[in-house]
Amino acid sequence: MNINATLLAQAVVMIVFVAICWKYIYPPILFMMKEREKRISDGLEAAKKADDSLEEAKLAFDKELNQAKVEAAEILEKANARASQIVADASSKAEKEAEKIITSATKTVENETNKAKEELKKQMSKIIIDTTQKILDDEISEEKHNDILKKAAEEL
Amino acid sequence: MASELTTQSYITHHLTNLTCGKTPSGWTCDPYKVDQMGFWAFHVDSLFWSIGLGALFVFVFRKAISKNFDANLAPNGIQNFVEMSIEFVEDNVQSLFGSVKNTLIAPLALTVFIWILLMNLMDLVPVDFLPVLAGHVAYAIAGDTVEWIQGPESLYFKVVPTTDPNITLGMAFGIFILTIYYSITVKGLKAFIAELTLHPFGKYMIPINFVLEMVNFIAKPISLGLRLFGNLYAGEMIFILIALMLFFSSIPIGVLGFGLHLVWALFHILIVALQAFIFMALTIAYLAMAHETEEH
Protein backbone atom coordinates (compact mmCIF):
# COMPACT_ATOMS: atom_id res chain seq x y z
CA MET A 1 0.00 0.00 0.00
CA ASN A 2 1.88 2.98 -1.23
CA ILE A 3 0.46 6.45 -1.06
CA ASN A 4 1.45 8.71 -3.92
CA ALA A 5 0.22 11.53 -6.10
CA THR A 6 -2.72 9.40 -7.23
CA LEU A 7 -4.42 10.55 -4.04
CA LEU A 8 -4.19 14.19 -5.04
CA ALA A 9 -5.23 13.41 -8.60
CA GLN A 10 -8.27 11.53 -7.33
CA ALA A 11 -9.20 14.41 -5.03
CA VAL A 12 -9.03 16.81 -7.99
CA VAL A 13 -11.05 14.45 -10.19
CA MET A 14 -13.63 14.16 -7.46
CA ILE A 15 -13.92 17.92 -7.13
CA VAL A 16 -14.44 18.16 -10.89
CA PHE A 17 -17.17 15.49 -10.96
CA VAL A 18 -18.91 16.90 -7.92
CA ALA A 19 -18.85 20.34 -9.49
CA ILE A 20 -20.32 18.98 -12.73
CA CYS A 21 -23.03 17.19 -10.80
CA TRP A 22 -23.69 20.25 -8.68
CA LYS A 23 -23.97 22.61 -11.62
CA TYR A 24 -25.35 20.58 -14.49
CA ILE A 25 -26.93 17.37 -13.28
CA TYR A 26 -28.61 17.64 -9.93
CA PRO A 27 -30.59 20.87 -10.22
CA PRO A 28 -32.24 20.12 -13.58
CA ILE A 29 -33.24 16.60 -12.56
CA LEU A 30 -34.57 17.80 -9.25
CA PHE A 31 -36.43 20.59 -11.03
CA MET A 32 -37.87 18.08 -13.46
CA MET A 33 -39.00 15.82 -10.65
CA LYS A 34 -40.57 18.70 -8.74
CA GLU A 35 -42.28 19.84 -11.91
CA ARG A 36 -43.73 16.40 -12.52
CA GLU A 37 -44.79 16.14 -8.91
CA LYS A 38 -46.59 19.46 -9.29
CA ARG A 39 -48.27 18.30 -12.47
CA ILE A 40 -49.46 15.14 -10.83
CA SER A 41 -50.83 16.86 -7.77
CA ASP A 42 -52.46 19.48 -10.00
CA GLY A 43 -53.99 16.71 -12.06
CA LEU A 44 -55.31 14.95 -8.99
CA GLU A 45 -56.77 18.19 -7.72
CA ALA A 46 -58.43 18.85 -11.06
CA ALA A 47 -59.87 15.35 -11.04
CA LYS A 48 -61.24 15.95 -7.58
CA LYS A 49 -62.75 19.23 -8.72
CA ALA A 50 -64.32 17.53 -11.70
CA ASP A 51 -65.73 14.91 -9.38
CA ASP A 52 -67.18 17.59 -7.15
CA SER A 53 -68.75 19.45 -10.04
CA LEU A 54 -70.16 16.20 -11.34
CA GLU A 55 -71.75 15.66 -7.96
CA GLU A 56 -73.11 19.19 -8.06
CA ALA A 57 -74.47 18.69 -11.53
CA LYS A 58 -76.16 15.50 -10.40
CA LEU A 59 -77.80 17.31 -7.51
CA ALA A 60 -78.92 20.13 -9.80
CA PHE A 61 -80.24 17.57 -12.24
CA ASP A 62 -82.21 15.82 -9.53
CA LYS A 63 -83.65 19.12 -8.38
CA GLU A 64 -84.71 20.07 -11.91
CA LEU A 65 -86.19 16.67 -12.43
CA ASN A 66 -88.25 16.88 -9.25
CA GLN A 67 -89.46 20.34 -10.15
CA ALA A 68 -90.38 19.17 -13.61
CA LYS A 69 -92.30 16.29 -12.10
CA VAL A 70 -94.21 18.63 -9.81
CA GLU A 71 -94.98 20.95 -12.70
CA ALA A 72 -96.12 18.08 -14.85
CA ALA A 73 -98.43 16.92 -12.09
CA GLU A 74 -99.85 20.41 -11.75
CA ILE A 75 -100.42 20.70 -15.47
CA LEU A 76 -102.09 17.34 -15.54
CA GLU A 77 -104.38 18.32 -12.70
CA LYS A 78 -105.34 21.55 -14.43
CA ALA A 79 -106.00 19.72 -17.65
CA ASN A 80 -108.20 17.24 -15.85
CA ALA A 81 -110.14 19.99 -14.16
CA ARG A 82 -110.60 21.79 -17.44
CA ALA A 83 -111.71 18.63 -19.19
CA SER A 84 -114.35 17.90 -16.57
CA GLN A 85 -115.46 21.54 -16.77
CA ILE A 86 -115.82 21.22 -20.53
CA VAL A 87 -117.82 18.02 -20.14
CA ALA A 88 -120.06 19.62 -17.51
CA ASP A 89 -120.63 22.68 -19.69
CA ALA A 90 -121.44 20.60 -22.70
CA SER A 91 -123.91 18.40 -20.82
CA SER A 92 -125.76 21.37 -19.27
CA LYS A 93 -125.94 23.03 -22.65
CA ALA A 94 -127.31 19.85 -24.20
CA GLU A 95 -129.86 19.57 -21.45
CA LYS A 96 -131.04 23.11 -22.08
CA GLU A 97 -131.21 22.46 -25.80
CA ALA A 98 -133.19 19.33 -25.24
CA GLU A 99 -135.61 21.18 -22.96
CA LYS A 100 -136.02 23.89 -25.55
CA ILE A 101 -136.69 21.37 -28.26
CA ILE A 102 -139.21 19.59 -26.10
CA THR A 103 -140.95 22.86 -25.21
CA SER A 104 -141.20 23.99 -28.80
CA ALA A 105 -142.37 20.53 -29.86
CA THR A 106 -145.08 20.59 -27.21
CA LYS A 107 -146.23 24.02 -28.37
CA THR A 108 -146.34 22.94 -31.96
CA VAL A 109 -148.35 19.90 -31.05
CA GLU A 110 -150.78 22.10 -29.07
CA ASN A 111 -151.14 24.51 -31.94
CA GLU A 112 -151.69 21.71 -34.36
CA THR A 113 -154.28 20.22 -32.06
CA ASN A 114 -156.09 23.56 -31.69
CA LYS A 115 -156.00 24.07 -35.41
CA ALA A 116 -157.31 20.61 -36.03
CA LYS A 117 -160.04 21.21 -33.43
CA GLU A 118 -161.01 24.51 -35.10
CA GLU A 119 -161.10 22.83 -38.45
CA LEU A 120 -163.10 19.99 -37.04
CA LYS A 121 -165.63 22.47 -35.48
CA LYS A 122 -165.97 24.31 -38.73
CA GLN A 123 -166.51 21.15 -40.72
CA MET A 124 -168.81 19.81 -38.06
CA SER A 125 -170.93 23.03 -38.15
CA LYS A 126 -170.94 22.99 -41.90
CA ILE A 127 -172.09 19.40 -41.97
CA ILE A 128 -174.73 20.13 -39.40
CA ILE A 129 -175.95 23.24 -41.22
CA ASP A 130 -175.89 21.51 -44.56
CA THR A 131 -177.84 18.65 -43.14
CA THR A 132 -180.24 20.98 -41.33
CA GLN A 133 -180.68 23.07 -44.50
CA LYS A 134 -181.47 19.98 -46.46
CA ILE A 135 -184.00 19.09 -43.83
CA LEU A 136 -185.48 22.50 -43.54
CA ASP A 137 -184.59 23.55 -47.06
CA ASP A 138 -186.42 26.66 -47.94
CA GLU A 139 -187.56 27.66 -44.52
CA ILE A 140 -184.26 29.12 -43.67
CA SER A 141 -183.07 32.12 -45.62
CA GLU A 142 -179.58 33.05 -46.41
CA GLU A 143 -179.55 35.54 -43.58
CA LYS A 144 -180.82 33.08 -41.02
CA HIS A 145 -178.42 30.49 -42.17
CA ASN A 146 -175.44 32.71 -41.49
CA ASP A 147 -176.85 33.63 -38.06
CA ILE A 148 -177.26 30.03 -37.10
CA LEU A 149 -173.74 29.24 -38.32
CA LYS A 150 -172.35 32.05 -36.32
CA LYS A 151 -174.18 30.99 -33.18
CA ALA A 152 -173.06 27.42 -33.59
CA ALA A 153 -169.46 28.49 -33.98
CA GLU A 154 -169.69 30.61 -30.86
CA GLU A 155 -171.21 27.79 -28.88
CA LEU A 156 -168.56 25.34 -29.87
CA MET B 1 8.21 -9.87 -15.17
CA ALA B 2 7.96 -13.47 -14.13
CA SER B 3 7.66 -15.71 -17.09
CA GLU B 4 6.80 -18.62 -14.85
CA LEU B 5 3.26 -18.29 -13.55
CA THR B 6 3.27 -19.10 -9.85
CA THR B 7 0.63 -18.57 -7.21
CA GLN B 8 2.65 -15.77 -5.74
CA SER B 9 3.33 -14.00 -8.98
CA TYR B 10 -0.35 -14.31 -9.92
CA ILE B 11 -1.44 -12.63 -6.71
CA THR B 12 1.23 -9.97 -6.94
CA HIS B 13 0.28 -9.28 -10.51
CA HIS B 14 -3.29 -8.69 -9.52
CA LEU B 15 -2.47 -6.47 -6.58
CA THR B 16 0.01 -4.18 -8.28
CA ASN B 17 -1.03 -0.98 -9.97
CA LEU B 18 0.12 0.28 -13.30
CA THR B 19 2.24 3.09 -11.98
CA CYS B 20 3.63 5.94 -14.02
CA GLY B 21 5.91 8.52 -12.54
CA LYS B 22 9.00 10.60 -12.82
CA THR B 23 12.34 8.87 -12.41
CA PRO B 24 15.77 10.50 -12.72
CA SER B 25 15.84 9.26 -16.29
CA GLY B 26 12.42 10.75 -17.20
CA TRP B 27 8.75 9.76 -17.12
CA THR B 28 8.07 6.05 -17.34
CA CYS B 29 5.58 3.37 -16.41
CA ASP B 30 8.23 0.67 -15.96
CA PRO B 31 7.19 -1.42 -12.97
CA TYR B 32 10.86 -2.02 -12.07
CA LYS B 33 11.48 1.68 -11.56
CA VAL B 34 8.55 2.37 -9.23
CA ASP B 35 11.00 2.67 -6.32
CA GLN B 36 12.69 5.62 -7.97
CA MET B 37 9.48 7.55 -8.54
CA GLY B 38 8.82 8.67 -4.97
CA PHE B 39 5.63 10.54 -4.25
CA TRP B 40 5.02 11.89 -7.73
CA ALA B 41 3.75 8.71 -9.26
CA PHE B 42 0.27 8.02 -10.55
CA HIS B 43 -1.70 4.81 -10.58
CA VAL B 44 -2.81 5.14 -14.16
CA ASP B 45 -5.16 2.15 -14.07
CA SER B 46 -7.00 3.35 -10.96
CA LEU B 47 -7.31 6.84 -12.33
CA PHE B 48 -8.39 5.55 -15.73
CA TRP B 49 -11.28 3.55 -14.28
CA SER B 50 -12.11 6.20 -11.76
CA ILE B 51 -12.38 8.91 -14.41
CA GLY B 52 -14.05 6.60 -16.89
CA LEU B 53 -16.74 5.54 -14.43
CA GLY B 54 -17.19 9.10 -13.24
CA ALA B 55 -17.71 10.10 -16.86
CA LEU B 56 -20.20 7.26 -17.26
CA PHE B 57 -22.10 8.61 -14.28
CA VAL B 58 -22.17 12.11 -15.76
CA PHE B 59 -23.15 10.78 -19.18
CA VAL B 60 -26.01 8.61 -17.95
CA PHE B 61 -27.46 11.21 -15.64
CA ARG B 62 -27.08 13.93 -18.21
CA LYS B 63 -28.84 11.77 -20.76
CA ALA B 64 -31.76 11.30 -18.43
CA ILE B 65 -32.28 15.05 -18.46
CA SER B 66 -31.87 15.90 -22.11
CA LYS B 67 -33.97 13.04 -23.42
CA ASN B 68 -37.16 13.30 -21.43
CA PHE B 69 -37.35 16.83 -20.20
CA ASP B 70 -41.12 16.81 -20.32
CA ALA B 71 -43.00 16.84 -17.08
CA ASN B 72 -46.05 15.38 -18.80
CA LEU B 73 -44.38 12.15 -19.84
CA ALA B 74 -44.10 9.24 -17.50
CA PRO B 75 -40.44 8.45 -16.83
CA ASN B 76 -39.09 5.17 -18.12
CA GLY B 77 -35.92 3.10 -18.31
CA ILE B 78 -32.78 4.86 -17.23
CA GLN B 79 -34.83 7.86 -16.17
CA ASN B 80 -36.44 5.77 -13.46
CA PHE B 81 -33.08 4.66 -12.19
CA VAL B 82 -31.78 8.22 -12.17
CA GLU B 83 -34.80 9.55 -10.34
CA MET B 84 -34.74 6.69 -7.90
CA SER B 85 -31.11 7.43 -7.05
CA ILE B 86 -31.86 11.09 -6.60
CA GLU B 87 -34.85 10.41 -4.40
CA PHE B 88 -32.78 7.99 -2.35
CA VAL B 89 -30.04 10.58 -1.88
CA GLU B 90 -32.57 13.32 -1.11
CA ASP B 91 -34.13 11.16 1.58
CA ASN B 92 -30.77 10.47 3.17
CA VAL B 93 -29.69 14.08 3.05
CA GLN B 94 -33.02 15.12 4.50
CA SER B 95 -32.78 12.70 7.40
CA LEU B 96 -29.16 13.46 8.26
CA PHE B 97 -29.03 17.11 7.40
CA GLY B 98 -32.43 18.25 8.53
CA SER B 99 -33.15 21.88 8.07
CA VAL B 100 -29.71 23.10 7.01
CA LYS B 101 -29.82 24.54 3.52
CA ASN B 102 -26.81 23.64 1.46
CA THR B 103 -27.24 22.93 -2.22
CA LEU B 104 -23.86 21.20 -2.51
CA ILE B 105 -24.49 18.34 -0.11
CA ALA B 106 -27.05 16.41 -2.16
CA PRO B 107 -25.12 16.54 -5.46
CA LEU B 108 -21.96 15.62 -3.58
CA ALA B 109 -23.69 12.68 -1.94
CA LEU B 110 -25.18 11.57 -5.25
CA THR B 111 -21.84 11.76 -7.06
CA VAL B 112 -20.05 9.91 -4.28
CA PHE B 113 -22.72 7.22 -4.06
CA ILE B 114 -23.09 6.44 -7.75
CA TRP B 115 -19.42 6.80 -8.50
CA ILE B 116 -18.30 4.51 -5.69
CA LEU B 117 -21.06 2.07 -6.56
CA LEU B 118 -19.79 1.91 -10.14
CA MET B 119 -16.18 1.55 -9.04
CA ASN B 120 -17.10 -1.18 -6.57
CA LEU B 121 -19.11 -2.99 -9.23
CA MET B 122 -15.90 -3.44 -11.24
CA ASP B 123 -15.07 -6.00 -8.59
CA LEU B 124 -17.73 -8.29 -10.02
CA VAL B 125 -15.98 -8.50 -13.39
CA PRO B 126 -14.01 -11.77 -13.27
CA VAL B 127 -10.54 -10.91 -12.04
CA ASP B 128 -8.59 -11.83 -15.16
CA PHE B 129 -10.76 -10.42 -17.95
CA LEU B 130 -9.72 -6.82 -18.04
CA PRO B 131 -6.06 -7.14 -16.93
CA VAL B 132 -5.35 -9.74 -19.60
CA LEU B 133 -7.21 -7.74 -22.22
CA ALA B 134 -5.31 -4.58 -21.28
CA GLY B 135 -2.01 -6.50 -21.32
CA HIS B 136 -2.64 -7.81 -24.82
CA VAL B 137 -3.79 -4.43 -26.10
CA ALA B 138 -0.72 -2.73 -24.63
CA TYR B 139 1.57 -5.39 -26.04
CA ALA B 140 0.01 -5.14 -29.48
CA ILE B 141 0.23 -1.36 -29.56
CA ALA B 142 3.46 -0.57 -27.73
CA GLY B 143 5.27 -3.91 -27.58
CA ASP B 144 7.90 -2.78 -30.09
CA THR B 145 8.48 0.76 -28.90
CA VAL B 146 8.36 0.56 -25.12
CA GLU B 147 11.25 -1.47 -23.75
CA TRP B 148 9.59 -2.65 -20.50
CA ILE B 149 6.60 -4.23 -22.25
CA GLN B 150 8.02 -7.64 -23.10
CA GLY B 151 4.80 -9.55 -23.22
CA PRO B 152 1.10 -9.27 -22.43
CA GLU B 153 1.77 -10.16 -18.81
CA SER B 154 4.39 -7.47 -18.16
CA LEU B 155 1.65 -4.82 -17.82
CA TYR B 156 0.12 -4.49 -14.39
CA PHE B 157 -3.49 -3.50 -14.48
CA LYS B 158 -5.78 -3.21 -11.49
CA VAL B 159 -9.40 -2.83 -12.44
CA VAL B 160 -11.17 -1.89 -9.21
CA PRO B 161 -10.23 1.67 -8.26
CA THR B 162 -11.65 1.36 -4.77
CA THR B 163 -9.09 -1.34 -3.94
CA ASP B 164 -6.49 1.36 -4.30
CA PRO B 165 -6.11 3.31 -1.03
CA ASN B 166 -5.05 6.36 -3.00
CA ILE B 167 -8.47 6.54 -4.60
CA THR B 168 -10.50 6.04 -1.43
CA LEU B 169 -8.28 8.29 0.67
CA GLY B 170 -8.27 10.82 -2.15
CA MET B 171 -12.02 11.06 -1.99
CA ALA B 172 -11.98 11.14 1.79
CA PHE B 173 -9.41 13.91 1.51
CA GLY B 174 -11.69 15.92 -0.76
CA ILE B 175 -14.51 15.53 1.75
CA PHE B 176 -12.13 16.46 4.55
CA ILE B 177 -11.30 19.72 2.77
CA LEU B 178 -15.01 20.44 2.34
CA THR B 179 -15.59 19.72 6.02
CA ILE B 180 -12.92 22.23 7.00
CA TYR B 181 -14.26 24.76 4.51
CA TYR B 182 -17.82 24.56 5.82
CA SER B 183 -16.69 24.45 9.44
CA ILE B 184 -14.90 27.74 8.92
CA THR B 185 -17.53 29.45 6.76
CA VAL B 186 -20.57 28.33 8.73
CA LYS B 187 -19.28 28.44 12.28
CA GLY B 188 -16.57 31.00 11.82
CA LEU B 189 -12.86 30.44 12.29
CA LYS B 190 -13.01 31.30 15.98
CA ALA B 191 -15.74 28.82 16.80
CA PHE B 192 -13.99 26.17 14.74
CA ILE B 193 -10.72 26.62 16.59
CA ALA B 194 -12.58 26.75 19.88
CA GLU B 195 -14.23 23.46 19.02
CA LEU B 196 -10.83 21.91 18.43
CA THR B 197 -9.17 23.30 21.54
CA LEU B 198 -11.71 23.87 24.32
CA HIS B 199 -13.04 20.33 24.52
CA PRO B 200 -13.25 18.06 26.36
CA PHE B 201 -11.30 19.52 29.34
CA GLY B 202 -11.91 23.25 29.23
CA LYS B 203 -9.61 26.14 28.50
CA TYR B 204 -6.77 25.21 30.92
CA MET B 205 -5.89 22.06 29.04
CA ILE B 206 -5.72 23.44 25.54
CA PRO B 207 -2.75 21.37 24.27
CA ILE B 208 -4.28 18.11 25.44
CA ASN B 209 -7.65 19.10 24.09
CA PHE B 210 -6.10 19.96 20.78
CA VAL B 211 -4.28 16.65 20.48
CA LEU B 212 -7.40 14.70 21.37
CA GLU B 213 -9.68 16.66 19.08
CA MET B 214 -7.16 16.56 16.29
CA VAL B 215 -6.98 12.79 16.46
CA ASN B 216 -10.74 12.71 16.40
CA PHE B 217 -10.84 15.16 13.50
CA ILE B 218 -8.22 13.44 11.36
CA ALA B 219 -9.47 9.97 12.12
CA LYS B 220 -12.73 10.71 10.34
CA PRO B 221 -11.43 11.00 6.76
CA ILE B 222 -8.84 8.29 7.27
CA SER B 223 -11.36 5.81 8.60
CA LEU B 224 -13.75 6.86 5.84
CA GLY B 225 -11.18 6.09 3.15
CA LEU B 226 -9.71 3.00 4.74
CA ARG B 227 -13.09 1.41 5.44
CA LEU B 228 -14.00 1.44 1.79
CA PHE B 229 -10.55 0.35 0.72
CA GLY B 230 -10.37 -2.47 3.27
CA ASN B 231 -13.74 -3.94 2.37
CA LEU B 232 -13.14 -3.88 -1.34
CA TYR B 233 -9.53 -5.01 -1.09
CA ALA B 234 -10.57 -7.99 0.97
CA GLY B 235 -13.33 -8.78 -1.50
CA GLU B 236 -10.93 -8.57 -4.41
CA MET B 237 -8.41 -10.72 -2.55
CA ILE B 238 -11.00 -13.44 -2.06
CA PHE B 239 -11.89 -13.33 -5.75
CA ILE B 240 -8.20 -13.76 -6.57
CA LEU B 241 -7.84 -16.65 -4.15
CA ILE B 242 -10.92 -18.32 -5.60
CA ALA B 243 -9.48 -17.81 -9.08
CA LEU B 244 -6.31 -19.49 -7.84
CA MET B 245 -8.21 -22.72 -7.32
CA LEU B 246 -7.98 -23.21 -11.06
CA PHE B 247 -4.21 -23.55 -10.64
CA PHE B 248 -4.56 -26.98 -9.15
CA SER B 249 -5.67 -28.34 -12.53
CA SER B 250 -8.09 -30.64 -10.80
CA ILE B 251 -11.64 -30.74 -12.08
CA PRO B 252 -13.42 -31.06 -8.68
CA ILE B 253 -11.52 -28.11 -7.25
CA GLY B 254 -12.12 -26.13 -10.41
CA VAL B 255 -15.86 -26.78 -10.20
CA LEU B 256 -15.79 -25.89 -6.52
CA GLY B 257 -13.98 -22.70 -7.52
CA PHE B 258 -16.76 -21.76 -9.93
CA GLY B 259 -19.33 -22.42 -7.23
CA LEU B 260 -17.45 -20.37 -4.68
CA HIS B 261 -16.99 -17.59 -7.17
CA LEU B 262 -20.74 -17.45 -7.74
CA VAL B 263 -21.50 -17.47 -4.02
CA TRP B 264 -18.92 -14.82 -3.22
CA ALA B 265 -20.00 -12.65 -6.14
CA LEU B 266 -23.59 -12.77 -4.95
CA PHE B 267 -22.54 -11.88 -1.44
CA HIS B 268 -20.22 -9.21 -2.74
CA ILE B 269 -23.09 -7.40 -4.43
CA LEU B 270 -24.27 -6.64 -0.93
CA ILE B 271 -20.88 -5.30 0.12
CA VAL B 272 -20.58 -3.26 -3.05
CA ALA B 273 -23.86 -1.45 -2.45
CA LEU B 274 -23.45 -1.28 1.29
CA GLN B 275 -20.00 0.29 1.19
CA ALA B 276 -21.11 2.85 -1.35
CA PHE B 277 -24.04 3.70 0.87
CA ILE B 278 -21.89 3.91 4.01
CA PHE B 279 -19.43 6.21 2.30
CA MET B 280 -22.27 8.44 1.18
CA ALA B 281 -24.00 8.44 4.55
CA LEU B 282 -20.78 9.30 6.38
CA THR B 283 -20.01 12.03 3.86
CA ILE B 284 -23.37 13.60 4.61
CA ALA B 285 -22.92 13.07 8.34
CA TYR B 286 -19.48 14.69 8.44
CA LEU B 287 -20.69 17.67 6.47
CA ALA B 288 -23.73 17.94 8.71
CA MET B 289 -21.36 18.04 11.68
CA ALA B 290 -19.48 20.84 10.00
CA HIS B 291 -22.74 22.79 9.92
CA GLU B 292 -23.68 22.18 13.54
CA THR B 293 -23.07 25.30 15.53
CA GLU B 294 -24.17 24.02 18.91
CA GLU B 295 -21.65 22.84 21.45
CA HIS B 296 -21.27 19.15 21.95
First to last CA, chain A: 173
Closest partner residue to B104 among A22, A30, A38, by Cβ? Answer: A22
- Residue B17 to residue B15: CA distance in whole angstroms: 7
* B223 catalytically annotated: yes
Report domain extents, chain B. 7-291
pTM: predicted TM-score of the whole model, two decimal places = 0.75
For the purposes of burial, counting CB atoms within 10 Å of the CB of B269, is it exposed (0-12), middle (13-18) or buried (19 or more)? Answer: middle
Long-range contacts of A58-61, Cβ-Cβ distance < 8 Å, separation of 24 or more: none
- Residue B33 to residue A129: CA distance in whole angstroms: 191
**Other Cβ atoms within 10 Å of B76 Cβ, number:** 9
Please say whether the dihedral angle defined by the alpha carbons of residues A110, A112, A117 and A122, taken in this order, is positive or negative: positive
* B85 catalytically annotated: no
Alpha helices in B198-250 (DSSP H): 206-244
Written as tens digits, the pLDDT of chain B (296 aa) is 345 677 888 888 888 888 888 888 778 888 888 878 888 888 999 999 999 999 999 999 888 876 556 666 677 778 888 888 999 998 888 888 876 678 889 999 999 999 999 999 999 888 888 888 888 888 888 877 777 877 777 788 888 999 999 999 999 999 999 999 999 998 888 888 888 888 777 778 888 888 888 998 899 999 999 999 999 999 999 999 888 887 777 888 888 988 999 999 999 999 999 999 999 999 999 998 888 765 54
**DSSP-based helix, strand, coil % in chain A, nearest 5:** 95, 0, 5
Max intra-chain CA distance, chain B: 71
- Tell me how close the Cα of B209 comes to any Cα of chain A, in angstroms: 29
Task: Say how many CA atoms lie within 13 Å of B233 toward its Cβ.
Answer: 16
Cβ–Cβ gap B171/A10 under 8 Å: yes
* B231 catalytically annotated: yes
Cβ–Cβ gap B47/A11 under 8 Å: no
- Residue B175 to residue A18: CA distance in whole angstroms: 11
Name chain B contacts of A8, Cβ cutoff 8 Å. 170, 173
Cβ–Cβ gap B171/A14 under 8 Å: yes
Nearest Cα to Cα of residue B62 among B117, B120, B110: B110
Report domain extents, chain A. 10-155
Complex confidence, ipTM:
0.86
- Residue B132 to residue B156: CA distance in whole angstroms: 9
Cβ–Cβ gap A11/B177 under 8 Å: yes
